[in-house]
């Protein structure tokens, strides 16, 4: 499928008068349409709820848009819990799916009334030790081990993943929870990431639904909810076919009716914790070309770097690039598009066919709406960028300002006596 930027050169030329590049910009219209489609795809399930994976795009303005469509938040740390609470998403609207969890994180999750999803059997005692007694509602994260396969091959490798309880531990753990007075139970699993196929959720659902039936038989526990977690992917590459959320929702409904309904589990609520699928395509990193270099290869140097988008450096991930204003020109040049870090993996594209690029051109790097800005860091003293929201009416709102050198210096103890003294006055 052709990948089109949701901004034009003319729009960016206006925006940069106020907000200089680089910045991430999000498309409110796209976010809303997608959230609505997801909600409709699972409307057959009475208790359905999406808990947006906050780590993907931790911005309260975006979280609040999703909240309008009934989405809660999936948090994994103390600060994400605080952020969700501050955004007005609290209580049962929070799923706390963490691992290697510090005590203070569990404490806050319980205080906010979040649903806690335990990553390990030992966390039952750990949590009880912290809170004095277990919450009435608890969830367990399952990891069957092995590899996760669908018809066209291996999708991921749960056996190598640090998360979740084994099958044996799952049965034991529900027995313990029941005996300790827990009344509402959930089951969670995240077995494959960025799946660009409509088969992942239905396959995962079948596995979890069958397990739910066994749990009921073996322990007498009837689950209240089954959390399919994240992992529904997006087409980063133009040749990929996007997932169809309606087909996915229907696929899950079919196995629900085949497996859960006959077992007397028709009231189970389906939850999801999507991150990438909710935001990925609706964010772009906009950056300006500041150098070209002709050495052993042809390099285009931009004003963004891996600090603003780490996925290419970290996973060799493909992110499509549009040279704004040159959408219809032939891609007859081969470039490496680089940032300025003193790291040779700081490349947004390697040997990429693009139109002829000139200094001053604006590049839109696609699909940065999830796991983009949020993975950023401050290596080489590089500062994190602003985040902008392109609203439905075409106006632009600053939803996070760019870091300044003062932000970078703010966490040092006083080392500059003159400055510290003048600041303390």
Report the catalytic residues.
342
Q: Closer CB to ligand PLP, residue 173 or residue 302?
A: 173
Q: Closer CB to ligand PLP, residue 110 or residue 196?
A: 196
Q: Closer CB to ligand PLP, residue 136 or residue 162?
A: 162
Q: Specify the DSSP class assigned to residue 380.
A: G
Q: Closer CB to ligand PLP, residue 231 or residue 355?
A: 231
Binding site for ligand PLP (CB under 6 A): 53, 55-56, 74, 76, 97, 190, 193-194, 229-231, 273-277, 370
Which residues, including other chains, have CB under 8 Å from residue 200's CB and lie 6 or more apart?
150, 155, 192, 231, 232, 248
Nearest to 74 by CA among 274, 351, 216, 310: 274
Q: Closer CB to ligand PLP, residue 116 or residue 300?
A: 116
Give the number of other CB atoms < 10 A from CB of residue 177.
21
How many whole angstroms separate alpha carbon 128 and alpha carbon 133? 5
User: Minimum distance between the CB of residue 117 and ligand PLP, rounded to whole angstroms?
Assistant: 8
Which residues, including other chains, have CB under 8 Å from residue 294's CB and lie 6 or more apart?
none
Helix (H) or strand (E) holding 321: strand 321-323
User: Minimum distance between the CB of residue 267 and ligand PLP, rounded to whole angstroms?
Assistant: 24
Judge contact between 286 and 308, C-beta under 8 A. no
Angstrom distances, CA of residue 377 to CA of 132, 292, 309, 373 = 38, 25, 9, 9
Q: Specify the DSSP class assigned to residue 399.
A: E
Judge contact between 62 and 279, C-beta under 8 A. yes
């Amino acid at each position: 499928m052709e990948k089109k930027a949701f901004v034009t050169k003319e729009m960016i030329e206006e925006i940069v008068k106020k907000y200089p590049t680089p910045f991430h910009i999000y498309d409110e219209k796209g976010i809303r349409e997608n959230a609505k489609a997801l909600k409709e795809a699972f409307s057959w399930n009475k208790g359905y709820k999406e808990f947006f994976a906050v780590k993907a795009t931790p911005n309260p303005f975006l979280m609040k848009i999703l909240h309008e469509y009934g989405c809660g938040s999936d948090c994994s740390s103390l600060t994400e819990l605080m952020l969700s609470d501050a955004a007005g998403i609290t209580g049962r609207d929070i799923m706390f799916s963490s691992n290697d969890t510090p005590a203070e994180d569990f404490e806050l999750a319980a205080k906010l009334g979040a649903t806690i999803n335990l990553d390990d059997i030992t966390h039952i005692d750990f949590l009880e030790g912290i809170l004095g007694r277990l919450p009435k509602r608890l969830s367990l994260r399952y990891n069957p081990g092995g590899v996760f396969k669908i018809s066209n091959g291996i999708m991921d490798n749960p056996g190598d993943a640090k998360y979740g309880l084994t099958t044996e531990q799952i049965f034991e753990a529900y027995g313990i929870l029941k005996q300790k007075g827990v009344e509402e139970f959930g089951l969670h699993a995240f077995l494959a990431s960025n799946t660009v196929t409509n088969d992942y959720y239905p396959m995962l659902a079948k596995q979890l639904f069958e397990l739910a039936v066994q749990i009921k038989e073996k322990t007498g526990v009837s689950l209240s909810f089954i959390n399919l977690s994240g992992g529904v992917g997006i087409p980063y590459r133009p040749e990929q076919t996007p997932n169809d959320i309606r087909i996915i929702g229907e696929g899950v409904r079919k196995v629900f009716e085949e497996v859960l309904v006959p077992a007397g589990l028709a009231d189970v609520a389906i939850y999801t914790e999507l991150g990438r699928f909710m935001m990925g395509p609706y964010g772009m990193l906009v950056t300006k070309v500041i150098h070209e270099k002709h050495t052993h290869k042809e390099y285009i140097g931009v004003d963004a770097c891996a600090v603003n988008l780490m996925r290419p450096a970290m996973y060799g991930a493909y992110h499509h690039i549009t040279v704004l204003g040159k959408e219809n020109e032939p891609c007859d040049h081969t470039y490496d598009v680089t940032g300025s870090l003193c790291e040779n993996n700081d490349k947004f594209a390697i040997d990429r066919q693009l139109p002829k690029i000139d200094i001053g051109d604006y590049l839109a790097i696609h699909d940065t709406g999830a796991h983009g800005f949020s993975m950023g860091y401050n290596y080489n003293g590089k500062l994190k960028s602003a985040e902008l929201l392109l609203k439905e009416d075409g106006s632009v709102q600053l939803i996070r300002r760019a870091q300044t050198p003062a932000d970078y210096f703010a966490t040092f103890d006083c080392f500059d006596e003159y400055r510290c003294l003048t600041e303390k006055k």
